[in-house]
Amino acid sequence: MAEIRITNLIKRFGDVYAVRDLNLTINDGEFLVLLGPSGCGKTTTLRSIAGLERQTEGDIFIGPRLVNDLRPGDRDIAMVFQFYALYPHLTAFDNIAFPLRAQRIPIPEIEQRVRAVAAQLRIEHLLNRRPRQLSGGEQQRVALGRAMVRRPQVFLMDEPLTNLDAALRADMRTELKHLQHELATTMVYVTHDQVEAMSMSHRIVVMNLGVLQQIGTPLDVYRRPATLFVAGFIGSPPMRLIDGELADDAFIDPSGIFRLKLNAPTVARIREHGATKLVFGIRPEEITIAQETPPDLIGIVALREPLGDETIYDLQIGTQLLQLRAAPTLRLNLGDQVPLKIDQQALRIFDRQSEQAIV
């Protein structure tokens, strides 16, 4: 097990920045997820830790060692790729044993370690099969076993569940989280799937255009997004973001129809910050049907999306849309006017110019 420290990491491909001035500490035994859209720099960061990419500037430490000039094989890491990269002519046993044989580990120890890992992954009965005889999930377990059997200080995983079907992906998320807890080994996991990030990680690093946007626990990143990008990227359905400004202690959109009276602490924070162009953000579960009068807003039902355990309603207010998350027993019809209560403790206000959170 080992802590990973990344200081002032920059990676350029010609004039294009893949990673910009990244500073990050990954704690010993932590499950950290690098999350972001394609091209955000998360895989480049992972490959730099592994030594598969040489950083343009900056330092990488694994434990106490500076590993900038070490080959991947000398960094005591194991990597699992999106494509399992199993040797097709070898059995599952031989695929798992391959790195141990390369290290000239004694045969009895290889046998013991391979079977121990196979038992953990529940693939003992598959050890004599070749990759073409295995399902996608079974191949993934073999690839994991090949990484685990080395007992590395750090596991690096590059979107390892992308090619699995939805049901199997959910099962493997649970297994990976349980496995990391059992091994207590530092694990860095790259994904663009926020469900994987939210459900598996101790902390999430959100990246965009090579820049670290926010780092925190899944709940922190969800409840307190630091930037407009994080607010729009995290959550399903995503946070609704509306441009506007502060006038007469209310948030007003350009049309003037969307008008929300703000509480005194929120108004004070905005005035203290001094921003003139604002963005209002709210999640569907932070909007409820108002029982008291007057309501904060009145929305018109524009769309109903039944999802079984809940229903999502799109509510039109002038040119803006908010979403309401409701129990399936609530039945609203298209065109109904709905009085709305906004949770003022949960709303977010961003500075449009800096894209940073104010409230």
pLDDT on residue 137: 79
Distance CA 153, CA 183 (A): 10
Instruction: Give yes or no for a contact between 168 and 91, defined as CB atoms under 8 angstroms apart.
Output: no
Contacts of 219 (CB under 8 A, 6+ apart): none
- The 10s digit of each residue's pLDDT in 162-219 is 777 777 788 778 878 887 888 788 999 999 999 999 999 999 999 999 999 999 999 9
> What is the set of domains in the chain, with CATH numbers?
4-232 (3.40.50.300), 237-351 (2.40.50.140)
Helix segments in the chain, DSSP class H:
42-50, 92-102, 107-121, 136-148, 166-183, 194-200, 218-223, 228-233, 264-273
Note the pTM of the prediction, 2 decimals. 0.88
Place of tokens 């002519």: 89
pLDDT at position 1 is 66
SS3 call for 8 = strand
**Distance from C-alpha of 169 to C-alpha of 163, rounded to nearest angstrom:** 9
Q: How many Cβ atoms are within 10 Å of 127's Cβ, its own excluded?
A: 18
What pLDDT does residue 277 have?
95
Q: What is the pLDDT of residue 65?
A: 93
Whole-number Å distance between alpha carbons of 51 and 49: 6
**Measured distance between the N- and C-terminal CA atoms of the chain, rounded to whole angstroms:** 38
Point out the residues of the chain with pLDDT beneath 50. Answer: none
Identify whether the C-beta of residue 46 lies closer than 8 Å to the C-beta of residue 34.
yes
Q: Long-range contacts for 29-32 (Cβ within 8 Å, ≥24 apart)?
A: 29/1, 29/184, 29/185, 29/186, 30/186, 30/187, 30/202, 30/203, 31/177, 31/180, 31/187, 31/189, 31/200, 31/201, 31/202, 32/186, 32/187, 32/188, 32/189, 32/201, 32/202, 32/203, 32/204, 32/205
**pLDDT (tens digit per residue) in 288-298:** 999 888 999 99
